Structure 1
Amino acid sequence: MRMGGLASGMDTEQIMRDLMRAERMPVDNMVKQRQVVEWQMDAYREVNRKFNEFRNKMVDQFILTSANLSAKRVTSSNSSLVSATASPNAGNVSLKLSNIKDLASAESRYSSEAISSEGKKIQTNQPLSSLHFKGAAHELNDNGEIINTNDMWKSGAVKTETIRVASSTNKVSFAQGNDKLKSNAAGDTVVKVNGKEYQVVTGEGELEEGEVRVNYTSGELTFYGYLPNNAQVSVTFIEESDTEKYTTSSITTFDRDGNEIKDTFVIKGSETLSQVFQRLNRSNVGVSAFYDSHTDKVSITRKETGINNKDGGYEMVFGEGFFKDVLKLQEGFVVDNEGNNVENVQRAKNATFTINGMETQRQTNTFTIDGVTITLRGETVGNEEVSLNVSTDTDKVFDTIKGFVDQYNELLDFVNGKLTEERYRDYKPLTDEERDAISEKEAERWDERAQSGMLRNDRMIQSVMDRMRTDIYGMVSNNLGSDYNQLSAIGITTSRDYNERGKLEINEDRLRQAIERDPAGVAAIFNSDGPTSGEKGIIRRMRETLTSGINSISSRAGGMGGKVANHQFTLGREIESINTRITNFERRLQQVEDRYWRQFTAMEKAMQQANAQAESLFAQLYGGQ
């Protein structure tokens, strides 16, 4: 702690503050200069964010979702029977549908008879081995464990192993070191690759497509052909066990091309019927099942509608064992409420209808014809006919273009505001000392003036705006033979008001007429593409201009393109330079302050000595009186 003025009586502290205030003026000016650069950097980044937002919106609306400029709408004379939507590629056509005799439906099957025995209904949340299925009788001990069964249950523990194939190969090892592997359960081993089941064989000889050889001695799988990289191999196998039980069964369905889809299920005795149904519902065979306690039957339905089995057989084929023999899902006949023998299968149907005079079928009720997606919702009666008319969705296209114009004008207002904002050069940034000397409201008004005009007449931003205007007003060459090749041709022109500095105006009637007359030509003005600038639509041109401008501004002010550290952009380096100068000057100020204190201290010492000498002389002259 320093104390001065004891000898001189001077307010040394105040004198030092006044002296250092004068000495600090260059530092204060550098701090103000740094603040101005930071304000400029923030202003540039704000403009860059606006540019980036506008660019992303244009890409989303006109390039990624180009359908907005080619939107179609479909009107139906009876939407309760037939509804439709159209893709942008659909033509403006009329379709007439009649004689809708059948809607596409999926095959369903239910148990041919009750599945429980001894009058005990099935409990879907109880272990299967404890349930009493008809035709699968068994005895239980006092602990509920199976002690005697028929052919439904087999002894063994079900295990599943998943192997990820790192590189292409046709050999995979499983159950390594497992000495409990049940080798006589080859028929109960299930091997799948990426969900597709392979046919298991054990003997020697050439493998055929879709087959896999299982060697229970070495624990090796040999596939026909090489598996792809990162293939996932799933192996379900059986271990020796006297306490655990299992059974098997399979389901075969067909895809849209008539190819078989098979899934073999190895079912544990400890599983519940609900768990089995969950596995069924997740399986790639595409079925769903449930148990109805009222009828004591199981119902199972194919998820895919229509006829997929090209041979005309059933859509679902159940293998021997649990599904066919226990759940009674075999083909058969039952007696309905009227005493008639009816099949326990509701066969799949294709949708049958006539379109523009041609009778045809579809496997689903929703299908696409020449870009028009049609959904059949009901059957027609007699000569009833439903008309579908496809036309350009003028309102949607108009709203998309109007949205672009509004966004562009909004951007123009913002940027022009920055370029024309008044610059008050007499209002410098406030130092902390200056800010403390005025009120908070006065400081806010001062800051507002001081920050104004940071980008006034900025050449870099003005250049971006000039290039965008050129992009918008330039002609677009296309090979469509369209009369529309620039915005003015479709009713979008520049405002005649000079003060609006290039804002766009829309003649709504002309724009709607252009959309209805030539929607493809209108769309090409915006999103056409080609090797030259003249062949690119205005959106692609503006995107390139904005990308270039954003990169240039980022090089100057940072904030985008990975330029976040000060040394990566111009203004950041300028700030670092000012910081270095401030640090060096602060060091010199400390030296100056120390020098002043030494001088004041020397003065105080000299004055103290002078005072002491004066007191001594006074004492000698007048001390004897």
Structure 2
Amino acid sequence: MVDSSSISGGMFTSSTMRIGGLASGMDIDGMVNKIMTAQSIPLDKMKQKLQYLEWQRDDYRSMNTLLNDLKTTNFNMKLQGTFLTKKTASTDDSKVTATASSSAGNTTYTLKNVKLATSAYNKSDGSIVSDNTFDPTKSIWSQQGKLANTTGLWSTGTVNNESMSVSSDGISFNLAHGGITSINSTIDVNTSGVNQSYTVFTDESSFNNSTDANKVLVNQETGQLTFNQTIKKGSNITVPNYNYNYINFNITTYDDNGNQINPDPDSPFNFDANTSLNTILSKISSSNVGVNAFYDSTTKQVSITRTSTGDMNPISGTDTDGTEIKFNGSSFLTQTLMLNETNENGGVDASFNVNGLQSTRHSNTFTLGNVTFNLKETIPDTNSDAVTITVNNDTDAVYDQIKSFVDKYNDTIKKINDKIGETKYRDYPPLTDAQKDQMKDSEITAWTDKAKSGTLSNDSLLSGVLNQMRIDLYSSVSSVSDSDHNQLATIGITTSPNYLDNGKLELDETKLKQALAENPDAVMQLFTNTGTEDDYASQGIAKRLDTSINDVFKQIQQKAGSVGSTNASFLMGQSFDDLNEQISAMTDRLTDIENRYYKQFSAMEQAIQNANQQSMSLTNLLGQ
């Protein structure tokens, strides 16, 4: 739009000093503005053209968005699975449920003699604590005196010359480990090449009473170091050596095939002494060994359960006990937590009789014949108690998919038809900034709505794709196995008889569901057959539509680009660049013209001022 900013009354940027009509008494700025308003008409038209092209570009892109959405919906219609949806029915959902994939056959399954799979589990032999104030949320180090058995609780580690760099001034720092059992008598701090030794204290009272100039308090539980003076940024702290306690153990479980699960970085498990029991059990539960562990504050016992059901470690090879959760002799697990492998309740496989075949599975959920069964309750081995699962085509689900496609198609063509049918108001070009300054907001909105209307009126690209999509939908498909279902009309999808609907589809629910019930394969082929590239008649409707949408989508993109496209990459963008160059050149030209007018008026003002001075001098001489 026109830039109406001004300097010293001018419309265009200029460095020229401008003098108003001081000598002539004339409104120089007003005169120049009126002249430049007329001179700016070509520039206004360029900017209006640019604005209109931008609106048109945006409308093209919005149409491409519509087409792309339709393409996404149409994609489902290309898939055979869309038309082969199955539904299952159980005579007793409380005992057995099932779901079927699209490749499942229409059949019936009878289940009886069902026993559910269970998980292996173990628990502490008794209370693991000697003091009921034991808190599983606090560190094992702080609670060790409240445990019933601490034999073998700790593993011992040694660290030599642990070094840490000080990133900011402070007095408190942390060692890599807590649970400190012994530590070197001094800790060294090197600052700017100067080494200073600090006396180590593990008792706060002794630390406070000490008169040592350099001292450090070590919290044995957490491993925190607290110096009696600030350690500067850039210093290096060195701890010659210290010993610490930690908890170490391993758990072995087995996969569906009875193979030992390989340990991940958390197994063997290692925990600092300042870790709580709840944290340890949570880490066990989130590891890959496949167990869930928790501490019960009422019984003061730990429970550990396999997350998978079934007998996951049948006795075979060198394994003679069949235990599914093994503690590998870990003292922490077997003594502190009192978990005994011999107390395990082993997992049991699910067993069932299906259509006369007796079988087992590790899980209560399993798949047979592309049908997934979910066992919920035991079922006696009697025909009267048997549960029947029936698998059939899900006509309602397929109908919903087709209806969704029809609705999307109708919505798309309506919006495209509305756009190409918009009235083009040629007497309403885009407003210039100067025109907006003279109008109310409501007037600007009303004008702009009309100015934007009809940017794609009777557009050939959009009209062409609408025509082609109609042909794609209405033409018969020669590759369908049943000639009675070779076009949409034969399955209950027809065109609205009202020409004002512009090809809107109408769906006869009864007729479509009847076609789906009688010959679902033919309905599927009508949409999904790929045919051959050189034989249009053999291609299914979804294939045809996909090709037509892709073609026009690419053409619109070549013309109007997409969000983020550079102007040089699409045709309209090149017009934008050309217009912007013309606008820039015209703006420079108008600036020169405006400067020339001001220069001429300035010369006139100077001449008048000189004449006035001469007249005044002459008057003074005559008066004398």
TM-score by length of 1: 0.72
Shift of 1:6: 6.3
Instruction: Give the secondary-structure state (helix, strand or coil) at the position aligned to 2:522.
Output: helix
Question: Residue type of the partner of 2:556?
Answer: I
Q: 1:152 to 1:454 in 2, by over 3 A?
A: closer
- Cα 1:597/1:351, change in 2 over 3 Å: closer
Find the aligned partners of 2:246 and 2:608 in 1 and give their Cα distance: 112
1:545 aligns with 2:554: no
Instruction: Tell me the alpha carbon deviations over residues 59-82 of structure 1, each in whole angstroms, 9 at most, x when there is no partner.
Output: 4x446x864433221111111111
Residue 289 of structure 2 corresponds to which residue in structure 1? 285
In structure 2, the residue matched to 1:510 is 511
Kindly indicate whether the alpha-carbon contact (under 8 Å) linking 1:104 and 1:305 is maintained by their aligned counterparts in 2: yes
Quick check: 1:345 aligned with 2:355?
no
Q: Offset of 1:10 from its aligned partner?
A: 5.5
Residues 418 and 297 of structure 1: is their aligned pair in 2 closer, same or farther, counting only changes over 3 Å?
A: closer
For residue 317 of structure 1, the aligned residue among 318, 326, 330 is 326
Contact 2:325 2:341 in 1 (8 A): no
What is the alpha-carbon distance in structure 2 between the residues aligned to residue 596 and residue 257 of structure 1?
Answer: 95
**Paired residue secondary structure (2:110):** strand
Distance 1:278 1:611, change over 3 A: closer
Alignment match, 1:329: 339
CA drift of 1:261 comes to 2.4
3-state DSSP class of the match of 1:373? Answer: strand
| Aligned mates of 2:61, 2:376 — CA distance in 1 | 55
Q: Read off the aligned partner of 1:21 and give its amino acid letter.
A: T
Are residues 38 and 272 of structure 1, via their aligned partners in 2, closer, same or farther at CA, if it must alter by over 3 Å?
A: closer
- Measure the CA separation in 1 of the matches of 2:397 and 2:482: 24
Deviation at 1:438, TM superposition (A): 4.1
CA RMSD of aligned residues (A): 3.7
Deviation at 1:106, TM superposition (A): 0.9
Distance 2:615 2:295 in 1: 121
The separation in 2 between residues aligned to 1:578 and 1:269, in whole angstroms, is 71
Give the whole-Å Cα distance in 2 for the aligned partners of 1:583 and 1:117. Answer: 86
Deviation of the 1:504 alpha carbon:
1.2
What amino acid is aligned across from residue 114 of structure 1 in structure 2?
A: G
Fraction of identical pairs, as percent: 36
Alignment of 1:592 onto 2:606: no
Tell me by how many angstroms 1:508 deviates.
1.3
Please give the alpha-carbon distance, in whole angstroms, between the structure 2 residues aligned to 1:434 and 1:48.
Answer: 33
Q: Distance in 1 between matches of 2:594 and 2:245?
A: 94
1:54 aligns with 2:55: no
Q: Check the 8 A contact 1:106/1:348 in 2, yes or no.
A: yes
Contact residue 476 and residue 538 of structure 1 kept, 8 A: yes
2:69 counterpart letter in structure 1: E
For residues 221-236 of structure 1, the aligned pairs below 5 Å read none
Task: Return the match for 1:114 from 126, 136, 143.
Answer: 126
Change in CA separation of 1:15 and 1:290 when aligned onto 2, cut-off 3 Å: closer
Q: CA contact under 8 A between 2:480 and 2:525: conserved in structure 1? A: no
Deviation at 1:352, TM superposition (A): 1.9
The one-letter amino acid paired with 2:339 is L
User: d(CA) in 1 for partners of 2:129 and 2:24?
Assistant: 119
Conservation of the 8 A alpha-carbon contact between 1:158 and 1:246: no
Q: Are residues 24 and 355 of structure 1, via their aligned partners in 2, closer, same or farther at CA, if it must alter by over 3 Å?
A: same
**1:364–1:608 distance in 2 versus 1, CA, 3 Å:** closer
Listed one character per residue, the Cα deviations across residues 442-498 of structure 1 (whole Å, up to 9, x for unaligned) are 333322222221111111222333333333334446586785443233221222322
Amino acid at match of 1:446: W
Give 1:319 deviation, angstroms. Answer: 2.0
- What are the ranges of 5 or more consecutive residues in structure 1 without an aligned counterpart? 139-150, 160-239, 333-343
Other-structure match for 1:557? 560
Superposed displacement of residue 40, structure 1 = 1.4
Gaps of 5+ in 2: 1-16, 161-239, 317-321
CA contact (8 A) 2:57 2:560 kept: yes
Q: How does 1:125-164 map to 2 (within 5 A)?
A: 125-127=138-140, 130-131=144-145, 153-157=154-158
Counterpart residue identity of residue 395, structure 1? D
**Residues 478-489 of structure 1: pairs in structure 2 closer than 5 A:** 484-489=485-490
Structure 2 distance, partners of 1:441, 1:331, is 82
Find out whether 1:105 has 2:118 as its counterpart.
Answer: yes
| Higher mean C-alpha displacement, 364-373 vs 426-435 | 426-435
Please state whether the residue corresponding to 1:27 is helix, strand or coil: helix
- CA contact under 8 A between 2:271 and 2:280: conserved in structure 1? no
AA in 1 matched with 2:406: V
Pairwise CA distance, 1:358? 2.2
SS at match of 1:469: helix
* 2: CA distance, partners of 1:7 / 1:116: 107
Q: Which residue of 1 aligns with 2:59?
A: 43
CA contact (8 A) 2:293 2:304 kept: yes
Conserved? CA contact 1:156–1:241, under 8 Å: no
Aligned with residue 71 of structure 1, among 64, 85, 92: 85
**8 Å contact from structure 1 (residues 251, 262) kept in 2:** no
C-alpha deviation, 1:296, in angstroms = 4.6
Q: TM-score normalised to the size of structure 2?
A: 0.72
Give me the whole-angstrom Cα distance separating, in 2, the residues matched to 1:495 and 1:407: 16
Which whole-Å CA distance do the structure 1 matches of 2:368 and 2:344 have between them? 32
Determine helix, strand or coil for the equivalent of 2:60.
Answer: helix
Q: Structure 1: how far apart are the matches of 2:21 and 2:601?
A: 9
8 Å Cα contact 1:115/1:133 also seen in 2:
no
Q: 1:88-487 alignment to 2 at 5 Å? A: 88-100=102-114, 102-111=115-124, 113-114=125-126, 116=128, 124=136, 125-127=138-140, 130-131=144-145, 153-157=154-158, 243-245=243-245, 249-261=249-261, 263=263, 265=268, 267=270, 270=273, 271-311=275-315, 313-322=322-331, 323-332=333-342, 344-381=343-380, 382=382, 383-476=384-477, 484-487=485-488
Q: Which residue matches 1:31?
A: 47
**Residue 356 and residue 429 in structure 1: after superposition, are their counterparts in 2 closer, same or farther (change >3 A)?**
same
Give, in whole Å, the separation in 2 of the partners of 1:403 and 1:121. Answer: 63
Q: Structure 2: how far apart are the matches of 1:578 and 1:330?
A: 85
| Distance in structure 2 (CA, Å) of the matches to 1:158 and 1:359 | 60
1: CA distance, partners of 2:473 / 2:447: 40
Give the AA of the match of 2:104: A
- Maintained 8 Å contact 1:85/1:374: yes
Change (3 A) 1:241 1:329: farther
For the residues of structure 1 that align with 2:588 and 2:95, how far apart are their CA atoms? 87
Query: Partners in 1 of 2:128 and 2:439 — Cα distance?
Result: 92
Distance 1:281 1:607 in 2: 98
The 8 Å contact of residues 422 and 453 in structure 2, kept in 1 or not, is answered as yes
Alpha-carbon deviation of 1:123?
5.1
Q: Which amino acid aligns with 1:273?
A: L
Q: CA deviation at 1:262?
A: 5.6
Higher mean Cα deviation, 278-287 or 506-515?
Answer: 278-287
| Shift in CA distance, 614/349, structure 1 to aligned 2, threshold 3 Å | closer
Could you tell me which amino acid in structure 1 is paired with residue 403 of structure 2? K
SS in 1 for 2:251: strand
Which piece of structure 1 moves more, 1-10 or 583-592?
1-10
Q: Does the Cα contact within 8 Å between 2:46 and 2:579 map onto a contact in 1?
A: yes
Q: Deviations over 1:166-224 (max 9, x none)?
A: xxxxxxxxxxxxxxxxxxxxxxxxxxxxxxxxxxxxxxxxxxxxxxxxxxxxxxxxxxx
3-state SS, counterpart of residue 57 of structure 2: helix
